[in-house]
Structure 1
Amino acid sequence: MLAPDLGSVPGPASDALALVPGLTGGLLAIGATALVYFAEDLFARLPVHWMWWPALGGLIIGIGGLIEPRALGVGYDVIDQLLTGHATQALIVGILVVKTAIWSLSLGSGTSGGVLAPVFMIGASLGAAESGFLPHCTPGFWATLGLAAVVGGVMRSPLTGTSVSAYALSVLLLKRSVLTEKIARRRLHLTREYTTDPLESFFAHEVMTPEPRADFATPARVFVHPDETLREVANKLAENYVTSAPVVDRDDPTSHLGVITLAQLLHARRRDLHEEHHRERLLP
């Protein structure tokens, strides 16, 4: 009995060509992330109550299931076939197109769903699709690289050389990952340490003292816009060695809306301390 041909061992050429699934995986990650929040914005404009959005997302999943039934569910069996080189071309294309569409659109609708397993399926299908024109290596080699690339791009988790290239492309073209964009849309902007910065939770117009007037007593060295976060305001004050700044309209710098001082930047920290030491209790 002969042992099956496991293909050639990946060499320097394969290492260089790992950029192919890396960069395409990064582009797919960007596209899928953009589609999630395009769908969220689209659902927000629908003339129906938000409680119907997940139902519409479920309808999208159902339509996708009619087109490619194996795109439904957790998909561990599909991931196994993709990573072991046993997936058919129809399955690869079906998962790549249908799973990407229904995952992005349904997640944007607010339908409960995961991120990790669907991204595994999408990434592995991308690598498996590209294996047809890349050098033959061990079964599932390119599918594994595609999986790493899409996970690295979507979740900003560069673990391999392939995912580093996808991560780099994602960082250059996207402000945030699919995981942190939703938090940022709730006006809780995150630092790189993934902790909420109190100064990023408030905007200048929320804490400023309204003082519309044509001229200030002394010429201002720095101006603040009402839609800037307190973190941006603090940076401006620090860079210019001042403790206060006028707030002006972004479109009309001559329109003075108020003034913001160093003391008002403490508002965010006071709110943060209040939430740490006081817990609202609901009594029957």
Structure 2
Amino acid sequence: MSRAMPVAQASAQRPVLLCVLALAIAGAATVAAHGLLALIGLITNAAFYGRVEMELVSPAGHGWGAWVIAVPVVGAVLIVALARWGTRGILGHGIPEVMEQVLTNRSRIAPRVALLKPVGSAISIGTGGPYGAEGPVIAMGGAIGSLLGQALTLTAVERKILLCAGGAAAMTAVFGSPLAATLLAVELLLFEFKARSLVPVMLAATFAQALRVAWGEAGAVFPMGEVGAVAFHDWLPLVAIGVVAGALAVAATAAVHGAEAIFAKLGGSWMWRPVVGGLIVGVIGWWQPRIFGAGYEEIAGLLGGHFSLMAVAVICGCKLAAWVISLGSGSSGGTLAPMLMVGGGVGVMTGALVERVGGVGVSPGLAALAGMVAFFAGGSRAFFASIVLGVEITQQSGVLWPVATAATGALFTARLLSQHSIMTAPVTQRGVSVPAEFDVDVFAHVRVSAVMEPVPQTVSSAMTVNALADRIGNHDPETSHHQALLVADEERGLVGIITRKDLLHALARGNGARRLDEVASTELVTAFPDEDLHDAVTRMHQHDIGRLPVVARGEERKIVGYLGRAAILSARRLRWEDEHQREPGWLARKQDAT
């Protein structure tokens, strides 16, 4: 009898390789991220100012007048050309497309998408599209990791880890947020919280941050004034900001779907939709030019409290409208910066309203940051990443519990109103199921003894093949319960296991008169009653078998149970009972007793 080495022991050296590869990917993703930002700056300067410079600038100071309406239209035409003669994979806002490749294509991103997606996004943002560079940057970094993972001999999980390492490193290069980038990868792409994936991804993100510091970019991406002590009475306005932001995030997601439906009803080729969307964005931007591009200056202005309430309402309202319309038209770009800008406006206005009605409020800067974090948490459902992002982009540790409060209110509200987020909705619309929550593997917390059949039926090793075939044919309950039977000697010691397939093969070969111990499988894979069900199931996968004899540890001929597929599935029943069966509390028991 033999037992296979567990997979975890067989692959113990793989994390070292993944960490080395993650560092290389982080370096490449950081350089690529800066290259994309330079390309966006080049296109923005050329499109809005007619000059050749790579510095990121706001398009709001252009001098085109009404002619500026044509700029997003021209950008949309170029994007459509790339999609038509390149690949339609460049459309969308980045993260959902990467998520779909993780869930359906074993984390394989096509080289053509990896090359053209950043170019399309740079054109979109550079010509006034109301997007940020974060989604495309994450997609580009993820593509670098995926391509390396496809070039090497790796498992699908290892390739996913490298994809996430590239995405986290690229996001860190832009936002200086290594922990938030890692958590975002965990919540939206990895769908697991394990050291095997956390270590390489976090290593890549921190290395990207180190390169960012070496590049001379150690400061906060969005500096804000020192946050003073937050009082007890500030909790209420923070919760209110979270609730409003969560509800608006759900409404925005629904509005995007509505815009998609409207564009689909226009008829004609799909290629007209981004162009029409660009035209509408151009008209909105002609009236309110601050909606063009990522809006980093506007985000900084909201955190600094530089806008009046009327300006906040107009700018952020127009940004939201332009963003929803452009997304609905199927253009290319990222969602994080627009969500921060819109959320910041929600925070400022909600905070002001609560202060006017209830007499308590927080500073405009903190209200803006709380709204940004809350809107992102409600819209993306990346709860922990959203909270940490608020701390990292401002480098203000004092904002942690205020933004966590707002994010909690937003997530609670958003989950009550909708099961889908703006990140998952595009994927689920295409029929792909996206994990909504982390769930501990039930097999890892159930012992084999809890689900095995404790007194399994056995057949004598001296029985002939014909005799067993007759008993099964006569529906003998002692031999018909399982597809396989344990073969035991006179002392009920385990000799082997015989399946119905083994029995049919023996009959077909004319071996009906032979004893069972001569035709049964004797090189057995077994399980122990005190081991985790996860290990036993892993062993079954390794050997492509559907059942295991359970034997005593140290006495591997002593039969103590039988583990089949039905028993394994019963572990799910145990988890279901834990979640759904209410047990009477001591108050109820006391009442029953009286």
TM-score band w.r.t. shorter chain: 0.5 to 0.7
Change (3 A) 1:139 1:125: closer
The 2-side partners of 1:69 and 1:88 are apart by 17
* Alpha-carbon distance, 1:190 to partner: 1.5
Task: Give per-residue Cα distances to partners, 1:186-220, cap 9 Å, x unaligned.
Answer: 111212369xxxxxxxxxxxxxxxxxxxxxxxxxx
268, 271, 277: which one aligns with 1:57: 277
Structure 1 residue runs of 4+, over 4 Å off? Answer: 5-8
Contact 2:240–2:409 (8 Å) recurs in 1: no
Q: Flag the 1:193–1:21 CA change in 2: closer, same or farther, 3 A.
A: closer
- Give yes or no for the alignment of 1:189 onto 2:433: yes
Provide the TM-score with structure 2 as the length reference.
Answer: 0.31
After TM superposition, the structure 1 = structure 2 runs for residues 97-176 of structure 1, keeping only pairs within 5 Å, are 97-133=317-353, 134=355, 135-158=360-383, 159=387, 160-176=404-420
Q: Could you report, residue by residue, the CA deviation over 1:237-268 in whole angstroms, capped at 9, with x for unpaired residues?
A: xxxxxxxxxxxxxxxxxxxxxxxxxxxxxxxx
- What's the CA shift for 1:140? 0.1
Question: Does the alignment pair 1:94 with 2:314?
Answer: yes
What is aligned with 2:496? none
Superposition map of 1:1-284 within 5 A = 9-133=229-353, 134=355, 135-158=360-383, 159=387, 160-192=404-436
The two structures, once aligned, show a CA RMSD in angstroms of 2.0
Shift of 1:136: 4.8
Distance 1:57 1:152 in 2: 27
Q: Distance in 2 between matches of 1:25 and 1:72?
A: 22
Amino acid at match of 1:141: L
Check whether the contact 1:156–1:177 (CA below 8 A) recurs between aligned residues. Answer: yes
**Structure 1 Cα separation of the partners of residues 316 and 296 of structure 2:** 15
Following superposition, the deviation at residue 67 of structure 1 comes to: 2.4
**Could you tell me how far 1:21 is from its partner in structure 2?**
0.4
Report the Cα offset of residue 106 of structure 1: 0.9
3-state DSSP of counterpart to 1:186: coil
Once the two structures are superposed, residues 77-131 of structure 1 have per-residue CA deviations (whole angstroms, 9 ceiling, x without a partner) of: 1000101111233330112211111101110110112100000000001111223
- Cα distance between partner residues in 2 of 1:88 and 1:127: 13
CA, structure 1 residues 69+90, in 2 after alignment: closer, same or farther (shift >3 Å)?
A: farther
Change (3 A) 1:31 1:22: same
User: Alpha-carbon deviation of 1:11?
Assistant: 0.5
Distance change in 2, residues 1:6/1:136 (3 Å): farther
Cα deviation, residue 55, structure 1: 0.4
Report the Cα distance in structure 2 between the residues aligned to 1:15 and 1:178, rounded to whole angstroms: 27
One-letter amino acid of the structure 2 residue matched with residue 146 of structure 1: G
Give, in whole Å, the separation in 2 of the partners of 1:6 and 1:136.
17
Unpaired stretches in structure 2, ≥5 consecutive residues:
1-224, 388-403, 439-594
Unaligned runs of 5+ in 1: 195-284
User: Quick one: which amino acid aligns to residue 143 of structure 1?
Assistant: A
SS of 1:179's equivalent in the other structure is coil
**Distance apart, 1:6 and its partner CA:** 7.8
CA separation in 1, counterparts of 2:296 and 2:323?
15
Q: How far apart are the structure 2 equivalents of 1:186 and 1:137?
A: 42
Identity of aligned residues (%): 34
Contact 1:65 1:72 survives alignment (8 Å): yes
SS of equivalent to 1:131: helix
Alignment correspondent of 2:66? none
Distance 2:246 2:425 in 1: 17
